[in-house]
């Protein structure tokens, strides 16, 4: 089985920042959010099923998933949420496998799947060799998301409340990157893990 890392962390924890640093060192990144966006863009492979099950009202004029509308709908209706997930999850799985095969063929040192909701989604932990959590305090998350997106604090806290807790994420972690500090504190941590992962990858 190919050696792969599942990188996760709460909103604003620094997943993208850290993932990009691993990519600079030779890891291949597979971004599940990006894949989900492609599947639900105009002409995306999830669109026909979304149309059939939810109706045209959940598509934009261009034929993409209307994210705002769907978010509201699934927020108040858990059954709709699981119907949407049963459309998206198998497709995300197929597309991430395809991306992983392409990266392996290009001889990347190892693979990093960036999965924001890894701890929350059944099955992901079993698909990767190790789980890497980017960790910071909740107050740091809130501060970063407010300054990046200009969202009100109550909204950021509501998003966080719908995600796994910091403790749940840490309990699922094989490795942790502490991103509570300055971004200059990241490089030594990434270097150390990159050395370990590169070695483990050759031992597979």
Where do contacts with ligand ATP occur on this chain (CB under 6 A)? 9, 11-17, 116, 144, 148, 179, 182-183
CA torsion sign, 47 to 101 to 31 to 131? positive
Contact 69, 57 (CB under 8 A): yes
Q: Between residues 28 and 29, which has the closer beta carbon with respect to ligand ATP?
A: 29
Residue 32 annotated as part of some ligand binding site: no
Give the nearest distance from C-beta 56 to ligand ATP in angstroms.
29
Q: Within its chain, how far is the Cα of 70 from the centroid?
A: 19
Q: Between residues 20 and 101, which has the closer beta carbon with respect to ligand ATP?
A: 20
The C-alpha atoms of residue 195 and residue 178 are separated, in whole angstroms, by 17
Residue 40 annotated as part of some ligand binding site: no
Residue 202 annotated as part of some ligand binding site: no
Give the nearest distance from C-beta 112 to ligand ATP in angstroms.
13
The C-alpha atoms of residue 9 and residue 13 are separated, in whole angstroms, by 6
Give the nearest distance from C-beta 134 to ligand ATP in angstroms.
6
The residues, any chain, with a CB within 8 Å of residue 73's CB and separated by 6 or more, are 54, 58, 80
3-state secondary structure at position 5:
strand
Q: Between residues 6 and 116, which has the closer beta carbon with respect to ligand ATP?
A: 116
The residues, any chain, with a CB within 8 Å of residue 53's CB and separated by 6 or more, are 83, 87
Contact 38, 203 (CB under 8 A): no
Give the nearest distance from C-beta 127 to ligand ATP in angstroms.
20
Residue 81 annotated as part of some ligand binding site: no
Residue 15 annotated as part of some ligand binding site: yes
CA distances from 152 to 117, 130, 157, 161 (A): 22, 35, 9, 15
Q: Between residues 17 and 104, which has the closer beta carbon with respect to ligand ATP?
A: 17
Residue 16 annotated as part of some ligand binding site: yes
Give the nearest distance from C-beta 71 to ligand ATP in angstroms.
15
Hunting for tokens 């807790």 — which residue is that?
Answer: 165
Q: Between residues 101 and 180, which has the closer beta carbon with respect to ligand ATP?
A: 180
List residues forming the annotated binding site for ATP: 12-17
List residues forming the annotated binding site: 12-17
């Amino acid at each position: 089985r190919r050696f792969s890392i599942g990188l996760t962390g709460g909103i604003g924890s620094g997943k993208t920042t850290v993932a990009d640093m691993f990519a600079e060192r030779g890891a291949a990144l597979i971004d599940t959010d990006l894949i989900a966006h492609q599947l639900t863009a105009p002409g995306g492979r999830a669109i026909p099923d979304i149309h059939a099950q939810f109706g045209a009202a959940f598509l934009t004029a261009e034929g993409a998933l209307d994210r705002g509308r769907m978010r509201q709908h699934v927020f108040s209706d858990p059954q709709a949420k699981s119907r949407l997930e049963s459309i998206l999850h198998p497709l995300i799985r197929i597309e991430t496998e395809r991306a992983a095969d392409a990266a392996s063929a290009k001889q990347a040192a190892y693979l990093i799947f960036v999965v924001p909701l890894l701890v929350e989604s059944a099955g992901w932990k079993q698909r990767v060799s190790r789980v890497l959590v980017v960790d910071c305090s909740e107050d740091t998350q809130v501060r970063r998301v407010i300054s990046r997106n200009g969202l009100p604090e109550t909204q950021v806290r509501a998003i966080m409340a719908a995600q796994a807790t910091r403790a749940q994420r840490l309990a699922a972690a094989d490795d942790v990157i502490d991103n509570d500090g300055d971004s200059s504190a990241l490089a030594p941590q990434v270097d150390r893990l990159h050395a370990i992962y590169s070695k483990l990858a050759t031992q597979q």
